[in-house]
């Protein structure tokens, strides 16, 4: 009859302790990852940098564009001439989302119209292409940029996305969405608050 | 007791008795590593890649001594290195030119593998480690390019980080997580610096070691694609067609290294920006988050993949869907197993639904990112995609060679277009070439078997010189 040498035998009584301590150790390692991953998210200071900004429109000439900074992003204000507004009727059929129904960059309800603005004259949008975040150029006059064809509008030089003067993206372009309209409201006839659209 | 019995005398003997690993590894990897004697010039690029890596690490260490990873100071600190630090311009240009040369060498090294079937059994792991090294290099190049904080640094990073934003559901949060802010900013610069100077280099070095260890376990391939270990000297047990790596190939590599360094320093001294291809003009302008440059393009080594990203538009999705269905049918009629056949059709159907069916379809932007990812990751699949009965192009049908040439043309043209502003004709050609690029790989299991193969000799073809 063979006997097992106690030095070679597997001590089964220790097996459960081994599994339990391994699991506890593993859970500890996972918990350890939390502060490291959290350190990669935006800091409190970055979160606080999103305060609304005001813009004074009184110096903006018709057909011109001004840029203000909000949350580190360029916000465009374009004062559209009557001819520029007229061009939006022609581009209506050539743009991918004329009614701004897509929800990736939701258009505020007060800008869900053919002009994509509160006042038709002033178009306010974030000057970042909805494709990969480049800066579109514009407003460009009709016929000045080949990708735009005969329409006036904005052209993103990175990947050739084009937008009409209401920031609506033309069909079959890399950008899926219209230019984002930030929340905003008019404090007076010529002063607009960007980043806050709350009533009262 | 416990001392190793050594054949060496003196200091060497003292060390060898205590750490025999040193000499045994030297023998295993250099003086007694038997490499095929028929290597040609295509076999120097591995050694050159190691040299390029060493140069990048060395120059990188010295650059960090003066560089400031701070959005307010980064651009100025690079100009400080260029203008005021003695020798600074030389070290910086070595690093920036070195990056481009690293990619030139690595692309030629990879092309060699395509020529001679170096990724085929038993070298699949060597190839996979190599592909991982390639991914790390792309990461190094991308993270490093933000550091000078020029216009192209900023806007290039903006575009690439936003790629991740195209992923459905988690995308937007993921891109905030990568940036550490809602826009590319100081937090982004700091973490990219950390990745560029320590995290990725550590992984890269580990992978290079794994790549070489895996290679030395199975032995090197050669231009004939013959296993030299199949014909051993009965007396010594060494491959008859093998010669010790050191001194034969160390000398061979040093010869080519000197030619490489002549080219490298010629570029460094005469055209360090290489006409805007190695360092883009726009990157000598400080980053401006409010006005991007009129034309944004990555550095040349990323542009083939960037063209593929750009080629994916709304209408292109229909061709992609048609291609997916055609490919699924090809798989269906090539497989015997009913379950596998149906799985191929089902996968294709799901993909097509998400490509073109209204409401359910995902943005072309997302598919552009997917295609770009596939065009890089598909290299991992080569050992299994290539079903040719012989490894080397020398014994494959002549048209296989021309197909490889056509692939290189597609790759180079896509690369050139990627450096250019978007334009209708170029976009159309990019779309056709994107499909050709994918077809080259995805149809390889079929075409690589076709044609008349030449008999492979038992011994390597070699003329003493």
Interface contact flag, A133 B162, Cβ < 8 Å: yes
Q: Which residue of B has its CA nearest to A50?
A: B182
**CA B89 to CA B81: how far, in whole Å?**
6
Are the beta carbons of B119 and B126 closer than 8 angstroms? yes
Q: What pLDDT does residue A200 have?
A: 54
**CA B463 to CA B465: how far, in whole Å?**
6
Q: What pLDDT does residue B1 have?
A: 59
CB contacts under 8 A, B 198-257 vs A, are none
Same domain, B262 and B334: no
Is a pLDDT exceeding 90 seen at residue B310? no
Q: What phi and psi, each to the nearest 5 degrees, are found at residue B71? A: -55, -30
Task: Give the relative orientation of helices B88-116 and B398-419 as an angle to the nearest 10 degrees.
Answer: 150
Kindly report, residue by residue over A143-167, the tens digit of the pLDDT.
Answer: 888 788 888 999 988 778 899 999 9
Same domain, B162 and B305: no
Is a pLDDT exceeding 80 seen at residue B465? no
Give the end of a domain, one of B266, B294, B322: B294
CB contact, 8 Å: A195 with chain B? no
Interface contact flag, A160 B422, Cβ < 8 Å: yes
Q: Is A79 helix (H, G, I), strand (E, B) or coil?
A: strand
> Which one of B183, B310, B427 has the shortest CB-CB distance to A73?
B183
Contacts of A43 in chain B (CB under 8 A): 180-181, 187
Percent of the residues in chain A that have a pLDDT greater than 70, as a whole number: 97
Same domain, B287 and B364: no
CB contact, 8 Å: A69 with chain B? yes
Is a pLDDT exceeding 60 seen at residue A2? no
Same domain, B375 and B241: no
Contacts of B182 in chain A (CB under 8 A): 42, 46, 50, 71-73
Q: For residue A193, give the H/E element and its range.
A: strand A191-194
Kindly report, residue by residue over B97-116, the tens digit of the pLDDT.
Answer: 999 999 999 999 999 999 99
Q: What pLDDT does residue A6 have?
A: 67
CB contact, 8 Å: A53 with chain B? no
The answer to whether residue B151 sits within a structural domain is: yes
Contacts of A172 in chain B (CB under 8 A): 313-315
Interface contact flag, B289 A71, Cβ < 8 Å: no
Looking at the DSSP bridge assignments, the partners of residue B367 are: none
Kindly report, residue by residue over A59-117, the tens digit of the pLDDT.
Answer: 999 999 999 988 888 999 999 999 999 999 888 888 988 888 887 788 899 988 889 99
Q: How many domains does chain B have?
A: 2
Same domain, B320 and B400: yes
> Which one of A96, A137, A176 has the shortest CB-CB distance to B294?
A137
- Among the residue ranges A64-73, B31-40, B224-233, the one predicted with the least confidence is A64-73
Short-list B259, B206, B225, CA closest to B45: B259
Same domain, B286 and B419: no
Q: What pLDDT does residue A4 have?
A: 63
User: Can you give B340-360 as a three-state secondary structure string?
Assistant: HHHHHHHHHHHHHHHHHCCCC
Distance to chain B for A153, nearest Cα, Å: 16
Kindly report, residue by residue over B140-167, the tens digit of the pLDDT.
Answer: 999 999 999 999 999 999 888 988 888 8
CB contact, 8 Å: A41 with chain B? yes
What domain range is B372 assigned to? 297-453
Q: Which residue of A has its CA nearest to B317?
A: A172
Interface contact flag, B181 A72, Cβ < 8 Å: yes
Is a pLDDT exceeding 70 seen at residue A1? no
Is a pLDDT exceeding 90 seen at residue B119? yes
Residue identified by tokens 């490499």 is B35
Residues in chain A: 200
User: Looking at per-residue confidence, does A98 or B49 come out higher?
Assistant: B49
Average pLDDT over residues B30-48: 96
The answer to whether residue B365 sits within a structural domain is: yes
CB contact, 8 Å: B312 with chain A? yes
Q: What pLDDT does residue A3 have?
A: 65
Burial of B360 (0-12, 13-18, 19+ CB in 10 A): exposed
The answer to whether residue B7 sits within a structural domain is: no
Residue identified by tokens 């920031």 is A167
Contacts of B162 in chain A (CB under 8 A): 131-133
**What contacts B343, CB < 8 A, 6 or more positions away?**
none
CB contact, 8 Å: B101 with chain A? no
Mean pLDDT taken over chain A: 87
Are the beta carbons of A122 and A57 closer than 8 angstroms? yes
**What contacts B212, CB < 8 A, 6 or more positions away?**
B29
Mean pLDDT taken over chain B: 94
Average pLDDT over residues B176-202: 94
Contacts of A135 in chain B (CB under 8 A): 155, 290-292
Q: What pLDDT does residue A50 have?
A: 73
Distance to chain B for A174, nearest Cα, Å: 5
How many helices (H) and strands (E) are present in chain B, helices listed first?
19, 2
Q: What pLDDT does residue A22 have?
A: 95
Q: What pLDDT does residue B113 have?
A: 97
Q: What is the dihedral of CA B433, B390, B241, B127, to 10 degrees?
A: 50
Is a pLDDT exceeding 90 seen at residue A141? no
Q: What pLDDT does residue B256 have?
A: 97
Q: What pLDDT does residue B449 have?
A: 96
Contacts of A50 in chain B (CB under 8 A): 182
Give the end of a domain, one of B249, B279, B294: B294
Interface contact flag, B364 A176, Cβ < 8 Å: yes
Q: What pLDDT does residue B131 have?
A: 98
CB contact, 8 Å: A159 with chain B? yes
Q: What pLDDT does residue B216 have?
A: 97
Average pLDDT over residues B127-132: 98
CATH number of A52-194: 2.102.10.10
Contacts of A125 in chain B (CB under 8 A): none
DSSP state string for B186-248: HHHHHHHHHIIIIIHHHHHHHHHHHHHHHHHHH----TT---GGGSB-TTT-SBTTEEEIIII
Same domain, B260 and B350: no
Q: What pLDDT does residue B305 have?
A: 96
Same domain, B39 and B118: yes
What CATH number has the domain bearing residue B354? 1.20.810.10
Neighbours of B209 (CB within 10 A): 11
Are the beta carbons of B162 and B138 closer than 8 angstroms? no
Same domain, B247 and B371: no
β-pairing verdict for A153-155 and A137-140: antiparallel
Average pLDDT over residues B429-451: 97
Q: Is A194 helix (H, G, I), strand (E, B) or coil?
A: strand
What Cα–Cα distance (Å) separates residue A181 from each residue in A44, A103, A112, A189, B104? 25, 12, 10, 19, 44
Question: How far does CA A96 lie from the centroid of its chain?
Answer: 18
Residue identified by tokens 């990188």 is B60
Average pLDDT over residues B125-130: 98
β-pairing verdict for A137-140 and A162-163: unpaired
Percent of the residues in chain B that have a pLDDT greater than 70, as a whole number: 100
> What end-to-end distance do the CA atoms of chain A give, in Å?
94
Burial of A53 (0-12, 13-18, 19+ CB in 10 A): middle
Is a pLDDT exceeding 70 seen at residue B381? yes
Interface contact flag, A174 B368, Cβ < 8 Å: yes
Same domain, B288 and B305: no
CB contacts under 8 A, B 285-304 vs A, are 289-296
Q: What pLDDT does residue B2 have?
A: 79
> Which one of B294, B365, B427 has the shortest CB-CB distance to A176?
B365
Distance to chain A for B365, nearest Cα, Å: 6
Interface contact flag, A157 B295, Cβ < 8 Å: yes
- Among the residue ranges A51-55, B103-107, B257-261, B404-408, the one predicted with the least confidence is A51-55
Helix, strand, coil percentages for chain B (3-state, nearest 5): 70, 0, 30
**What contacts B135, CB < 8 A, 6 or more positions away?**
B376
Provide the pLDDT confidence category of residue B179 given band limits of 50, 70 and 90: very high
In chain A, where the domains are located:
11-41, 52-194
Looking at the DSSP bridge assignments, the partners of residue A54 are: A193
Q: Is A76 helix (H, G, I), strand (E, B) or coil?
A: strand
Is a pLDDT exceeding 90 seen at residue A122? yes
Same domain, B254 and B320: no
Same domain, B290 and B324: no
Distance to chain A for B163, nearest Cα, Å: 6
Short-list B41, B77, B31, B104, CA closest to B274: B104
User: Looking at per-residue confidence, does A50 or B421 come out higher?
Assistant: B421
Give the end of a domain, one of B258, B279, B294: B294
């Amino acid at each position: 009859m063979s006997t097992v040498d106690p030095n070679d035998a597997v001590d089964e009584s220790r097996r459960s302790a081994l599994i339990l301590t391994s699991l506890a150790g593993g859970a500890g390692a996972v918990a350890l990852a939390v502060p490291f991953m959290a350190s990669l998210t935006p800091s409190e200071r970055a979160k606080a940098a999103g305060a609304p900004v005001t813009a004074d429109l009184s110096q903006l000439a018709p057909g011109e564009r001004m840029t203000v900074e909000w949350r580190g992003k360029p916000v465009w204000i374009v004062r559209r001439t009557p001819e520029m507004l007229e061009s939006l009727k022609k581009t209506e059929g050539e743009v991918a989302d004329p009614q701004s129904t897509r929800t990736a960059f939701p258009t505020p309800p007060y800008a869900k119209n053919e002009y994509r603005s509160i006042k038709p004259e002033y178009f306010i949008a974030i000057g970042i292409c909805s494709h990969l975040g480049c800066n579109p150029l514009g407003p460009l006059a009709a016929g000045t940029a080949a990708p735009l064809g005969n329409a006036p509008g904005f052209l993103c030089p990175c990947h050739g996305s084009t937008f009409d003067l209401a920031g609506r993206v033309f069909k079959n372009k890399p950008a899926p969405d219209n230019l984002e309209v930030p929340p905003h409201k008019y404090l007076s006839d010529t002063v607009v608050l960007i980043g806050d659209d709350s009533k009262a | 007791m416990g001392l190793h019995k050594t054949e060496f005398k003196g200091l060497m003997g003292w060390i060898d008795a205590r750490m025999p690993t040193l000499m045994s590894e030297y023998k295993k990897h250099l003086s007694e590593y038997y490499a095929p004697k028929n290597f040609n010039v295509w076999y120097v690029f591995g050694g050159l890649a190691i040299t390029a890596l060493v140069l990048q690490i060395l120059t990188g260490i010295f650059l960090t001594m003066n560089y400031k990873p701070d959005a307010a100071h980064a651009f100025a600190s690079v100009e400080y290195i260029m203008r005021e630090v003695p020798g600074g311009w030389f070290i910086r240009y070595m690093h920036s030119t070195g990056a481009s040369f690293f990619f030139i060498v690595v692309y030629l090294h990879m092309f060699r593998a395509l020529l001679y079937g170096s990724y085929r059994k038993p070298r699949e792991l060597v190839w996979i480690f190599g592909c991982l090294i390639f991914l790390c290099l792309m990461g190094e190049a991308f993270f490093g390019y933000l550091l000078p904080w020029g216009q192209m640094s900023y806007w290039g990073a903006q575009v690439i980080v936003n790629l991740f934003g195209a992923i459905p559901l988690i995308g937007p949060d993921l891109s905030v997580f990568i940036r550490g802010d809602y826009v590319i900013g100081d937090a982004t610069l700091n973490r990219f610096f950390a990745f560029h100077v320590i995290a990725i280099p550590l992984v890269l070095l580990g992978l290079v070691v794994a790549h070489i260890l895996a290679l030395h376990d199975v032995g090197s391939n050669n231009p004939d694609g013959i296993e030299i270990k199949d014909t051993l000297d009965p007396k010594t047990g060494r491959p008859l067609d093998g010669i010790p790596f050191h001194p034969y190939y160390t000398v061979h590599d040093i010869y080519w290294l000197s030619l490489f360094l002549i080219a490298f320093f010629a570029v460094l001294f005469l055209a360090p920006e290489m006409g805007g291809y190695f360092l883009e003009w726009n990157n000598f302008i400080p980053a401006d988050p409010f006005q991007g440059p009129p034309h944004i393009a990555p550095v040349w080594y990323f542009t083939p993949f960037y063209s593929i990203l750009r080629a994916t538009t709304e209408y292109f999705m229909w061709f992609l869907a048609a291609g997916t269905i055609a490919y699924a049918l090809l798989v269906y009629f090539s497989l015997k197993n009913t379950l596998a056949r149906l799985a191929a059709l089902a996968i294709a159907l799901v993909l097509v639904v998400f490509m073109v069916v209204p409401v359910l379809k995902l943005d072309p932007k997302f598919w552009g990112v997917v295609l770009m990812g596939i065009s890089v990751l598909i290299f991992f699949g080569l050992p299994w995609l290539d079903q040719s009965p012989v490894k080397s192009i020398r014994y494959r049908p002549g048209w296989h060679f021309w197909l490889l040439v056509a692939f290189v043309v597609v790759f180079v043209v896509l690369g050139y277009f990627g450096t250019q502003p978007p334009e209708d004709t170029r976009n159309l050609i990019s779309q056709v070439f994107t499909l050709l690029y994918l077809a080259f790989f995805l149809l390889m299991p079929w075409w690589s078997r076709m044609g008349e193969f030449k008999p492979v000799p038992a011994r390597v073809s070699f003329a003493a010189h």
